[in-house]
Chains A and B, each alone.
Chain A
């Protein structure tokens, strides 16, 4: 017996955090979740699986366009034609989705009831699947507690959308513990909701397969997003294989610029890292966030002209692989060769300015005055930006973030002030 376990499709939800720029592979990035979903159906048909399990979150909750549902149904029909049954529980997003409610599915699709946990048996395979869908978005009771007892002499699978015992960045829905799930005596638990692949238990396997396509940098991966292919032999021995399905791969690259002296050196270093990451991405489009670190004499210049830096790095991405790399964000976290502390002992006017700048972060009135200067842009920012990127307001709310900003800004000011002294 062989079956496929997937979850968190979030069909047609867009990728986040990618600023558009000239040369960015805009068209290639569209429909990434849809392409990954098609890859999954191709895999199911290609491997002739006996059935498919989707453990919740077919759609994004606030995504309304009905064509997404039609696409889902169309792919289910493909499975119907090849005789592959599908078992689905609705997750928190599906419960919130208006698409879920209006859509009828072909005969091969079984959606577990949201009223109470129920069991579906596939006689010819000797399999019993137990599951319950979310009725509303916010299900906070332990659904697994109500799951039926195992059916004797059959292979028992529990299908559940849950945050288990809590995961950072995920709402704590349908909580339960690994021990509770194990105690049910099922042979396999097909879970959904957590977007990173995670195996909570080996025996019995309790598996979060992760989502099938990363949608932002926090869903970074080196071995790809996808589903879990489970093979069970006659003796009940199980083999679990992670099958990558994604078409866009997210990577967070740290590039150490120690030893670089020119913008050319920096671009070459970034180019090397990008090339390596692109090669490792198995022909997929790479969405890369780059953090520059290390001590370099170029620190001040990079701060002074961030536009030039970002353009050079986007150019390096084009050179490394035309149309196959999108620079999501560039974080400059380098250090200057001469620190503000060193500068402040120089004994001249620049030393005086450095000394004062060094002390400003300790002055509460300067901090609040600076916040006052920055306030207008934050008050103008629409809620969808701050919702999407909550960290953006950190400088206003977090003392450490403000200190980092002040240090970076001080270094920028000093480098501009001493520009004549930058060696040629």
Chain B
């Protein structure tokens, strides 16, 4: 592939920067000064071929969506392609007509090459060159590394192999090493195993523990039995010592009781009852004597009291007289003030009569002249009514006058208003037009819409490719359906994709055939294979010779002709000749043997080549078929458009064309529709103007011709006129209504005035009548009559008060006369000795005498009550004394005694007996307690068989024995505790399970480390093997080719390259000087190493060019570190390379251009300069 044209349309800081690379042999030298953007051009060149990097940094001027490159390229078969490259994720290749091309479009030009490989292999700059030279030095000339490492764009095989090996060695080496993972894990595994053994609890261990436990428990049981026995002895002796004193005390008490002799059996309470009866008897007799004296003294006091029973019988009457005496005394004190009050009233009444002008009437007859209460009320009402009636009459008169004035004013206004005109038609037409909206604007908008749509339509129609006709004829054009187009698009795209795949397969096949050819040529280059006949001849010759020699020299066969021997030996002697024939036969056989393998491989390669050739042929045939089918399909595609007389583009493009056509047809429909709408609006507009003009003519006072005025003016005029006429009509209507309302009101006001006058006259009559009754003049006016009314009221009240005072004075005199009579009547009958002239004094004395009699009577009642109580107490004591005597008699009988003294003696003995038996019971109880539940007889028997001394001795012996056994017991307890602890430890385990788990974990890690090691080790081994084989296979041709280039680059200083084995039997690359001297890589200068690297790289490229589509070699300021001689030589080499493929040399060094000119001549290169 070579680049014919390359344009940086929008990329980095460039806009439309072109480069044209003419098809002339030679180098393209692309020169741009510093900062001109050499790197940008280089990157653009890679991007146009392989796609713009997703994070490209060349978007500082043209953003990602705008970035674009163009290239025109041509491959070795002469196929060409012009395309654009845009930035994106898919469809980034665009054809000349901007339609997307499949990614496979570039396959015939780039093959399977990708961007990274392209840069590594076909791109080289100064830094890469120097790094490559350095890599050669680092590999110490390792042949594989030198031939297939950096020079071919790979990692150093040596370094990769070494890394894989170290990785494997980190995990494992056959020799034990603590640093290796494998051995670290092994150590953990061993540790876990050891721990597991140590923590495993064996069944025997458990059994031993159990047996030991049983033995110690048996010991413990025996000890417990002996201890129990000793404790029994100890308890018995201690008990005997405790109970012995108690038993002694019991025996003493029993002796004392027996000395008291026989006693009658007495009740428990007898002694107490006896003592109480004796006490009661003595006390009662003493009390009886005392009470007899007291009753006699009480009776004497009662006999001495004085009481008047008649007075006591009249108590209520006497107390009533006493109360009336109080009231009489009070009335006597009120008399003077009553008389004075009556006089004051009479004086006041005389003054009021004078004021009323009734001086002739005496004051005692004042009641006869007082006016009636009803009359006074009526006069007061008339005074109020009079004021009201006068005011009503005045208001009615004022209303009538005001109404008459207003009516006159309205009549005058009506006469001044203008004449009425009709305007209903104007209003109706105006509203109708307004409801239709802003017709003027609607019409203008509709016109604009029509214009706009028409403009668009014309533009779209003009822009539609493959079409010259009108929009209407486009609509009627017979075109294929969208589905048909999609079907063609899919089918053609599938064919194209298949063709691309088949092309790729062809390329692969060709590459394989080239490899096979190369190998076949190498195999064929060997010597010719000895034929079977040649071997047979040689063997026959050998056998013939042997037969002669055997017969002649060993068997001395006389029949053998001397001449025959001579003829066989010639002049050299039979042995020599025979040796030659033997060697010849062996050599032939050996050669055949040796060449047979080569032949076998050759046959295999030939066979493979035949197979590949057959595949290639099949693929190519399929490819041709596909292309034919595609061609047929494309013809069908064109036929589908014949009816439309259109020569179609690709289906994808025509799908887009159909879309545009549909858009135009839709636009045409919209335009027509807009025109119809516009016409409708224009008609409405015209109708509206006419209607308004007609209405104006009718309504105007002075009708005008408005034909020249537009609709907006007409509407304004009509609106103004309508406003004016409406206002006038409204005013006239309002004035007429007001006048009618006033006229009705005036009639009503006049009626009201007449009613008010009549009511005023009726009141005047009532008033004159009332004055006459009151005794006043009828001419008296309401405002003057108030004084008369007040005086009458005061007089009336005074008469009432004076009558009341008189009634009270009369009542007091009557009460006192009655009281005197009652008092005198009573005293004469019951106490004539206290009678007095004043009944008040008499009644006071009578009351005193009654109080004395009542007091004596109360004293007598209290003394009688006390006497009753004394007699009751006396009777009680007599009863008690009798009861005591009866009891004592009964007790004496029980105790078999005659006297009370004897009774007391018997009771004393009985009491002693009781105390002794109680003590005995207590002692017995104590004995039971101390005896630990044994009965008394048993205890007594137990005590009697021993002595205190012997008991003390036994007790001490038992105590010693127990103490000694307790020590043993503690010892056994601790043994058992220890055994129990061991038992628990075993039950809980010692962690064997944990160590078992750890062991499993270490085994798993060993598994993992082994698997990792195997992969790394195998990778190392296979890489080593593969590299060695590649080297064996490819070494010779590459060395030869690179040697030639190296000779040219070094100007003949080196004649060739070779691989030799160094001291470590390692194949290393060396250069051979023309004099035969071999120089290792470490013996070369830095510049020579760079040249060697370049030579290797160019040799590999030439190899590639022979088997695959050639690609341009791009050198980026590659020669700057070369002196002019070396640079010149390098230019020569590149020029030779340019005969096989395009060579683009970028530089910003002017002197290199000059050097090229002198070295290659003007025809030897093409200069491209850019700014």
A-side residues, CB < 8 A to B, are 12-20, 26, 29-31, 34, 63-71, 74, 98-99, 101-102, 303, 306, 328-329, 345-350, 352-353, 356-357, 360, 366, 369-370, 373-374, 376-378, 380-382, 384-385, 388-389, 392, 395, 405-406, 408-410, 412-413, 416-421, 423
Interchain CB contact under 8 A, A14 and B1006: no
Chain B residues 64-123 with CB under 8 Å of chain A are 111-112, 114, 116-117, 120-121
Interchain CB contact under 8 A, A377 and B112: no
Interchain CB contact under 8 A, B990 and A67: yes
A13 to B1008 Cα, complex, angstroms: 22
Interchain CB contact under 8 A, B1108 and A347: yes
Interchain CB contact under 8 A, A418 and B1026: no
Interchain CB contact under 8 A, A420 and B989: no
Which B residues touch A389, using CB under 8 A? 1003, 1007
Interchain CB contact under 8 A, B160 and A417: yes
Interchain CB contact under 8 A, A348 and B993: no
Q: Interface with A: B194-202, B297-305, B1077-1085, which one?
A: B194-202
Q: Closest CB-CB distance, B211 to chain A, in whole Å?
A: 12
Q: List 25 A-B contacts (CB under 8 A).
A: A14-B997, A15-B997, A26-B997, A64-B202, A65-B201, A66-B202, A66-B203, A99-B203, A329-B1004, A347-B1107, A348-B152, A349-B152, A353-B148, A353-B1023, A356-B1026, A360-B1025, A374-B1014, A376-B174, A380-B182, A384-B189, A385-B1010, A405-B1015, A413-B164, A416-B1023, A421-B114
Answer whether A395 and B1025 are a contact pair too, CB < 8 Å, given A349-B154, A353-B148.
no
Q: Interface with A: B386-394, B1028-1036, B1125-1133, which one?
A: B1028-1036
- CB nearest neighbor in B for A352: B1030
Interchain CB contact under 8 A, B1004 and A377: no
Answer whether A67 and B986 are a contact pair too, CB < 8 Å, given A30-B994, A102-B203.
yes
Interchain CB contact under 8 A, B1004 and A16: yes
Q: Closest CB-CB distance, A397 to chain B, in whole Å?
A: 13
Which A residues touch B200, using CB under 8 A? 64-65
Interchain CB contact under 8 A, A405 and B203: no
A64 to B199 Cα, complex, angstroms: 10
Interchain CB contact under 8 A, B1033 and A102: no
A263 to B797 Cα, complex, angstroms: 129
Which one of A369, A413, A416, A419 contacts B1026 once the chains associate, using CB atoms below 8 Å? Answer: A413
Which one of B153, B202, B1001, B1003 contacts A420 once the chains associate, using CB atoms below 8 Å? Answer: B153
Interchain CB contact under 8 A, A14 and B1030: no
Interchain CB contact under 8 A, B1005 and A102: no
- CB nearest neighbor in B for A328: B1004
Interchain CB contact under 8 A, A416 and B172: no
Q: Closest CB-CB distance, B214 to chain A, in whole Å?
A: 13
Interchain CB contact under 8 A, B1026 and A405: no
**Quick one: which of A19, A63, A380 has the most chain B CB within 10 A?**
A19
Interchain CB contact under 8 A, B205 and A348: no
A57 to B1021 Cα, complex, angstroms: 47
The 8 nearest A-B residue pairs measured at CB: A67-B989, A349-B152, A409-B1018, A413-B1023, A376-B174, A409-B1019, A102-B203, A65-B992
Chain B residues 977-1028 with CB under 8 Å of chain A are 986-990, 992-994, 996-1008, 1010-1023, 1025-1027
A62 to B630 Cα, complex, angstroms: 76
- Number of A-B residue pairs with CB-CB distance less than 8 Å in the complex they form: 230
A370 to B1027 Cα, complex, angstroms: 15
- CB nearest neighbor in B for A378: B1010
Interchain CB contact under 8 A, B1026 and A357: yes
Q: Closest CB-CB distance, B231 to chain A, in whole Å?
A: 36
Which A residues touch B1170, using CB under 8 A? none
Q: Closest CB-CB distance, B1103 to chain A, in whole Å?
A: 8
How many B residues are at the interface, by size bracket?
Answer: 35 or more
Which B residues touch A384, using CB under 8 A? 189, 999, 1003
Tell whether B1100 is near chain A: CB-to-CB under 8 Å: yes
Interchain CB contact under 8 A, A348 and B117: yes
A192 to B1027 Cα, complex, angstroms: 57
Which A residues touch B117, using CB under 8 A? 346, 348, 421
Interchain CB contact under 8 A, A352 and B1005: no
Which B residues touch A347, using CB under 8 A? 111, 511, 1104, 1107-1108
Which one of B202, B987, B1019 contacts A413 once the chains associate, using CB atoms below 8 Å? Answer: B1019
Answer whether A418 and B1019 are a contact pair too, CB < 8 Å, given A67-B988, A385-B1003.
no
Q: Please, what's the 1-or-0 string for B146-159, where 1 marks a CB less than 8 Å from any CB in chain A?
A: 01100011110100
Tell whether B752 is near chain A: CB-to-CB under 8 Å: no
Answer whether A377 and B989 are a contact pair too, CB < 8 Å, given A348-B117, A421-B116.
no
Interchain CB contact under 8 A, B1018 and A353: no
Interchain CB contact under 8 A, A374 and B1018: yes
A118 to B121 Cα, complex, angstroms: 85
Tell whether B923 is near chain A: CB-to-CB under 8 Å: no
Tell whether B435 is near chain A: CB-to-CB under 8 Å: no
A192 to B1011 Cα, complex, angstroms: 35
A319 to B1013 Cα, complex, angstroms: 29
Answer whether A15 and B1000 are a contact pair too, CB < 8 Å, given A31-B993, A303-B1015, A409-B1015.
yes
Chain B residues 954-994 with CB under 8 Å of chain A are 986-990, 992-994
Which A residues touch B1003, using CB under 8 A? 16, 384-385, 388-389
Tell whether B207 is near chain A: CB-to-CB under 8 Å: yes
Interchain CB contact under 8 A, A370 and B1021: yes
Tell whether B650 is near chain A: CB-to-CB under 8 Å: no
Answer whether A360 and B1022 are a contact pair too, CB < 8 Å, given A20-B1001, A303-B1015, A329-B1008.
yes
Q: Please, what's the 1-or-0 string for B165-187, where 1 marks a CB less than 8 Å from any CB in chain A?
A: 00000001010000000100010
